[in-house]
Chains A and B, each alone.
Chain A
Amino acid sequence: MWRIVHQFGSPPWVYRFCDRVIPWLLPLTVVALLVGSAWGLLFAPTDYKQGDSYRIIYIHVPASVVALAGYYVMASAGLVSLVWRVKLADTAMRAAAPIGAAYTAIALVTGAIWGKPTWGAWWVWDARITSMLILFFLYVGVMALFEAYENKTIAARACAILSLVGTVNIPIIYKSVDWWYSLHQPASIKFTGSSAIDTSMLYPLLGMIVTFYVLFALLMMLNIKQSLTQEYAHSAWLHKRLND
């Protein structure tokens, strides 16, 4: 167990790990995305109330779910960096932030597109979309803080603290936004209960959620590998690896 932890703290080992995993994870993700999208967009049944416009949930929901999880990935990396001073954890934390922000942006944009046919407006103050917007700003805050520091070692430490503060606050923010929404919710834009979803619609959705997780992992690896290439540009192990 301890050896595995140690290995994940070693840049050459992680670099090799990424190098090995990416070549088969990349095609797998592409195939899963194609299959999942086709399943959701073409083969899943049409919703009797919303028609075909509901199909955007096959992008919107997975993006929202993984966007939130991504923040916790980032914060966990931050915690590891704070407690054990593992430099790679900094790299992982930095890698997670833009990916998470991109997922959040996708969730927001698809939410807006979904809103137009469903509610007749590009933007409605729905609880989930509002929370997503706040989550987006939390991500942007972490990235902006990192950019603001010139010394990146110190920047990573600051971002780790900020993301941990965010972690404690996210459940509170989500709960309070839910509460706010339930108090102000006009009847016309009430959500259809998500529990009533049919399995023929649910399975492709679950498939897409898993695929988005895998995509997140893939993007993380690509990002980490990229950072390592820059960070250790002058290291012997990297030159050896690249020349092989």
Chain B
Amino acid sequence: MAPERADASLAHYCIRQTGRHLLLLVRSPGEIVNPLLFFLLVIILFPLGLGPDPEMLSALAPGIVWVVALLANVMLCMRLFADDFADGSLEQLAMANIPLAVAVLPQLLASWLASGFLLSLVSPLFGLMLGLPLSVAPILMASLLMGTLIMLLLGAVGAALTVGIQRGGMLLSLLILPLYVPVLIVGTRSLTEAVGGGDPAVALALLGAGVTGGLVLSPVAIAAGLRVSLEL
């Protein structure tokens, strides 16, 4: 007889899986550092392309920050399930005796911590480089925290559907970029309001609503997409 297991609960499983994915990310730091470097490099490109005029830069900064965050997120999604699909971890995840929609949450959490969360933490730095006043840093961080999570949840659906396709990267961007439009609009809005002395509360509330809706709906779609990819 197998001994009675105290750790057989769902919560322990999720914690263990989150740990697994965080450990994997730490063991290959490029996965974390490269998107951040990409973010920084592209941010640098804008002043070089547009000219160093601080006023113009700060006017464009909200849009620049969000477009670049969006692109960094697409890059992340291209890799999101690729390794796990190739080495069989994904099919084993589907074999766990819990709904796949729940089983993917740890990986999403780990990926977000290593990408969107870190990005939000360092974002005030990028904001300063683009001439955003330090006073909008909290809004910048809050909006990026929520916005990157929504984008990851949406992007993961596309990633799940394209993970089995050879060279699915471009296809993935075609699938998910249109879905990112509301996040881009609302996220940028929160910043322009904050910069212009307006009230960013509406935009932030909309982002919060997006996080809630995304957390409820997208795991189901991600699981369905992964099941389709596992059929290949």
Contact = CB atoms under 8 A, between A and B. Distances in A.
Interface of A: 82, 134, 137-138, 140-141, 144-145, 148-149, 151, 154, 157-158, 161-162, 164-166, 168-169, 172-173, 175-177, 179-180, 183
Contact of B178 (A134, A145, A161): A134
Interface residues of B, number: 26
Contacts of A180: 185, 189
Contact of B181 (A151, A157, A177): A177
Contacts of A179: 185, 189
Contacts of B224: 82, 161
Interface string B135-179: 000000000000000000010011001100100100100110111
B177 A137 contact: yes
B181 A158 contact: no
A173 B182 contact: yes
Contacts of A144: 171, 174-175
Contacts of A154: 228, 231-232
Given A148-B165, A158-B225, A172 B182 contact: yes
B192 to A, nearest CB: 9
Contact of A161 (B171, B185, B221): B221
A76 B177 CA distance: 23
Contact of A177 (B179, B185, B217): B185
Nearest to B227: A157
23 contacts: A134-B178, A137-B178, A138-B178, A140-B174, A145-B161, A148-B168, A148-B171, A149-B165, A149-B232, A157-B228, A158-B228, A161-B161, A161-B225, A162-B157, A164-B221, A168-B217, A169-B179, A172-B182, A175-B182, A176-B185, A176-B186, A179-B189, A180-B189
A161 B160 CA distance: 11
Nearest to A171: B182
Contact of A165 (B174, B179, B182, B229): B179
Interface string B175-217: 1011101100110010000000000000000000000000001
Contact of A137 (B174, B185, B231): B174
A172 B178 CA distance: 11
A180 B185 CA distance: 6
Contacts of B177: 137
